[in-house]
Amino acid sequence: MPPESSLRRPRRAATAARSCASVAWAALAGAALSCAALACAPAPAVAPSQAPAPLRSLRIADVDLDGEPRTVSSAEAILDLDDARYAFEHAYAGLDGRPPAPSPLALARAEAALRGRAAWRPGELARLLRDVFAAPDGHLAFGHGGRAPLRLTAAPAAAPALAPAAPAACAGRGADARTEAPPRPLDPPRRPGPPVELTQSRDGVPVLAIRTFSAAAAPALAALPALAAELRRAPAFVVDLRGNAGGNYLFAERFALALTDAPLCALDEREVISVAAAEGRANSARRRLARGDVPPEARPRFVEHLAALERVAGALRGRAADRAAAAPRVDLTTRGAVVRGRATGPLEGRAVFLVDRGCASACEMLLALVRQIPGVLVVGQNTRGGMSVGELALFRLPRSGVTLSLGTRAYRDPLGDFVELRGFEPDVRLDGADVVEGAAALALRGAPSGARRRGARTSCAPR
């Protein structure tokens, strides 16, 4: 979910790069977060008895960012359940058409289950919460830190649900535009090698491997637009995205726009603006810094990103205190936007994008753009299916130490071909030990007879 902002009004033309701790967020905070800037109507006056409850603080104390969880009583577990509900209601973008939190009936049943036992161990509570809040969302996860960390994916189709704990990162467009998708047991292993590597197939076809979009690899990823400008003139080339779990979408978008001069449909977005969302994103960034997951060259960017998020959280909290009827969250939606390619002309040759189940998050967002470019073919296997909800926020329930990782920004493929948990289907399926050579052959000779672009549309047409 990676800073240059997303706080903006719906637009018709391309906007500048955005991020979870974006320039627009900082500008909004500096402008006292006026309702006009949030594109919302002035809140009506309400009687004191109708005023919303004070906003809770979901900021994780530094000492607890990776603290040990603890066994809690049923009463404490019920209070943590309510804090989880609050986090979902105030921060979770969720999938289009689904409410952000479970129904009151589902929560009442969960509370009854919690009352049925005197004590709840952290892993047991995390599993119960996972079951209550489960959604077909490839990023949503529960677990805890400590000496024996646990991460449970919330997607119903993920089985077994237990996966190794993985570092969380801000999903946006600054620190890490979308957090890398958490691994699942059946995912292919991430491929070793440098973040960006240009080689050739046996037939001399250029092969560009992009193994990550993480901001930690920023020096290598900054070269992608120049590489795209070079590759787009070749008669054929391959972009190998296998195992790319995502990161900062800004790098992916710049690469795509450097391949063509054509207008492309941008992904539709819906961003949650709230104290909880800003605090949760800041929690993610602070834990990543505390764990030492950020290389020294990227640390100043993360620190700046974190400071911007905390300023936004403070400004939003102040605004809520000044206005008794202030909305606890605003969902800012951008649809129908168009971004124009930055190349000097159309893609001249044939480009084959090679993908597998390891391509997720920002990697899938890249495919949502390049699939619109004439001359692009997607081959390999289905992608991961972890793109619809990103820009991750981290929360730690204060009594048990159980953690929630949820997305605060929702995305939708402009062509309508992406399905969460299923991913993108390739135009041509490729399996076997030498798929790179198979992709290079397709780049040289084209798709086999009868193969056609999968999906509802193949171009950015008015909707």
pLDDT at 449: 64
pLDDT at 113: 98
Residues 253 and 339: beta-carbon distance below 8 Å: yes
Residue ranges of the chain whose pLDDT lies below 50? 1-50, 157-179, 454-456, 462-463
Give the Cα-Cα-Cα angle 87, 90, 96 (nearest 5 degrees). 105
pLDDT at 25: 43
- Which residues touch 144 (CB under 8 Å, ≥6 apart)? 69, 122, 123, 126, 150, 400, 401, 402, 403
Question: 302 by DSSP, 3-state: which?
Answer: helix
Q: Which pTM was predicted?
A: 0.80
pLDDT at 180: 54
Question: Residue 153: beta bridge partners?
Answer: 141
Distance, first Cα to last Cα, the chain: 25
Residues 444 and 437: beta-carbon distance below 8 Å: no
- Which residues touch 443 (CB under 8 Å, ≥6 apart)? 205, 236, 237, 238, 349, 350, 351, 352, 377
Nearest to 306, CA basis, from 274, 277, 279, 273: 279
Residue 143 in tokens: 């677990």
pLDDT single digits (tens) 364-419: 999 999 999 999 999 999 999 999 998 899 999 999 999 999 999 999 999 999 99
pLDDT at 189: 62
